[in-house]
Amino acid sequence: MTKAASKETPLIVESLWDRLARFPWWLVAIILVLIGSAYFVATNESYQASLLFIVQGISITVQTTLYAYALALVIGLIMGLGRVSRNVIFSNIARFYVEVVRGIPMLVLIFYIAFVAVVDFAGFFGVAGRDVPMNVRAIIALAVTYGAFLAEIFRAGIQSIDRGQMEAARSLGMSYTKAMRYVILPQAIRNVLPALGNDFVAMLKDSSLVSVLAVRDITQVARLHAGSTFRFREAYTVLAVLYLSMTLVLSALVQWLERRLHAGRK
Amino acid sequence: MPVASKPIIEIKSLHKTFGKDVHALRGVDLLVERGKVVVIVGPSGSGKSTLLRCINHLEVETHGEVWVDGKRLNEKNKDIDEIRAEIGMVFQLFNLFPHLTVLENIMLAQRVVRGRGKAEAEEVAKKQLERVGISEKAHSFPAQLSGGQQQRVAIARALAMNPKIMLFDEPTSALDPEMIKEVLDVMLDLAKDGMTMIVVTHEMGFARVAADQVIFMDQGLVVEQGTPQQIFNNPTQDRTKLFLSQILQH
């Protein structure tokens, strides 16, 4: 189609100004920031020390994000199915969960889950609250929070599938559950993959909130470093650049995935 | 055989309302004998599709009874999935599963509903594809097929379940004119093979050739029913005459 169109459209000579205006200057700026940071780290001992110290938190940040995201996917899928369910109890539980979580600031929710909900829940199973490690509490807190966002993504994905798909599946004798599993969800999940990817990036950033639980992720480690050396500028610059680098790479991955999905859907 | 003489579908004073205002069916009675082809015609909004969708409970009746093969459909019956497995349905917009290939479309329900193994399901699927004449498209995706081909795959998908009844809900209405015949030919073959069929369509030519019984519906009621000769050549009701004169003018 584009070929035919370009044949008929006369060749328009682009002015230099147009080309300059279209150039991704923002990307150049970001790359300069990254290069500048690398230069500081390479030449300045304080920056070097900050980086070496803060990098110790990377594995906690990555682990917390991965585990919490995996758990959030499970919660989100179940609650998303609840949101579209015709079962009154199930759908009300799902709606309650989503509304409560979305109505409370994430930071407050993290405190509440880590210091109240998890402790009560552990007590219910006869485990002392203090025996639950903070890392685990942080993962649960993030997962419960993000589960609500992912539930809404799954709900939107399921509702985007034409009603005729469910009808066709049911007319062939499939139960609601089988129709969901084999017909609706495979299509719905494919549709929401980019949105799920975006939320993964968002969660990586929000994982910094678990530093309030004294979990030694990069944010917490950076705070400790800054506090003990008074090198605030170095510590927080390194911290910000670390997050930026990770999210840039992940965002690029998500975009690549999105393009591939579009290409596959001719 | 006394069993054969018992109607496979029996509908008694069926009412269906949508919300408070729409009364789609206002007391429909219908008997369909095994192996017969029933064609339902009528203006849009007359309740034809709703009646068809009540037979496999895609719509639940507001009042009245639907009996399929000796079983009463109702809101609570747990075996609705088993009853539906015996009733094939073909939709106006095909409703193929776009994420599966043609072959997988035809195999899915065989496997997860009928519990057939992969080899058996594939064999049945290939046989049905051959029957509708598009074996070469087995590994294509629905989006790569024309409308007529998609509808024939949809028919094959329904037939692969070995249904006792086939329902067709305006199967050619969404097709380009040059593709209507290929779908009607498949349906005619099916009728000749003795399949019990209920067809909602505007194709009067098909009704004349294939129907054992034509039902004319208007405003949620069966106005008139009889053989194609009776309905098309000697309609007794004014409403039927008016409808036929309007569509046969073309």
Question: What is the pTM for the complete model shown?
Answer: 0.88
Mutation pick from B55, B58, B81, B140 vs chain A, by most beta carbons of A within 10 Å, is: B81
Do β-strands B63-68 and B71-73 pair in parallel, antiparallel, or remain unpaired? Answer: antiparallel
Q: Is domain A58-265 classified as CATH 1.10.520.20?
A: no
Mutation pick from A86, A171, A181 vs chain B, by most beta carbons of B within 10 Å, is: A171
* Predicted local confidence at residue B6, as pLDDT: 82
Residues forming a β-bridge with A75: none
Do β-strands B213-218 and B63-68 pair in parallel, antiparallel, or remain unpaired? Answer: unpaired
Residues in A closer than 8 angstroms to B85, CB to CB, are 172-173
Residues of chain A with pLDDT > 90, as a percent, come to 78
Give the CA-trace dihedral at A58, A64, A69, A72, to 10 degrees: -160
DSSP-derived secondary structure letter, B230: I
Q: Which residue has the higher pLDDT, A71 or A132?
A: A71
Task: Output the average pLDDT for chain B.
Answer: 92
Q: Residue A162's closest chain B neighbor by CA?
A: B95
Taking an 8 Å cut-off on Cβ atoms, the answer to whether B113 and A167 are in contact is no
Taking an 8 Å cut-off on Cβ atoms, the answer to whether A187 and B99 are in contact is yes
Q: Which residues contact A130 (CB under 8 A, 6 or more apart)?
A: none
Q: Which residue has the higher pLDDT, A128 or B181?
A: B181
Residues in B closer than 8 angstroms to A157, CB to CB, are none
Taking an 8 Å cut-off on Cβ atoms, the answer to whether A187 and B98 are in contact is yes
Residues in A closer than 8 angstroms to B84, CB to CB, are 170-173
Give tens-digit pLDDT for A213-243: 999 999 999 999 999 999 999 999 999 999 9
| Residue range B65-72: mean pLDDT, rounded | 90
> Is B156 touching A (CB cutoff 8 A)?
no
What residue ranges do the domains of chain A occupy?
Answer: 58-265
* Predicted local confidence at residue B49, as pLDDT: 94
Is residue A8 predicted with pLDDT exceeding 70?
A: no
Is residue B128 predicted with pLDDT exceeding 70?
A: yes
Is the CB of residue B16 less than 8 Å from the CB of residue B61? yes
Is residue B117 predicted with pLDDT exceeding 90?
A: yes
The alpha-carbon gap from A3 to the nearest alpha carbon of chain B, in Å, equals 21
ipTM, two decimals, is 0.92
CA distances from A14 to A10, A19, B164 (A): 12, 7, 67
How far is Cα A144 from Cα B208, in angstroms, rounded to an integer?
A: 63
Q: Where are the beta strands (DSSP E) in B1-55?
A: 9-18, 22-32, 37-41
| Coil, helix or strand at residue B173 | coil
Give tens-digit pLDDT for B178-235: 999 999 999 999 999 999 999 999 999 999 999 999 999 999 999 999 999 999 999 9
How far is Cα A239 from Cα A56, in angstroms, rounded to an integer?
A: 12
Pick from A191, A210, A92, A93: nearest CA to A146: A210
The alpha-carbon gap from B80 to the nearest alpha carbon of chain A, in Å, equals 8
Is residue A266 predicted with pLDDT exceeding 80?
A: no
Taking an 8 Å cut-off on Cβ atoms, the answer to whether B112 and A178 are in contact is yes
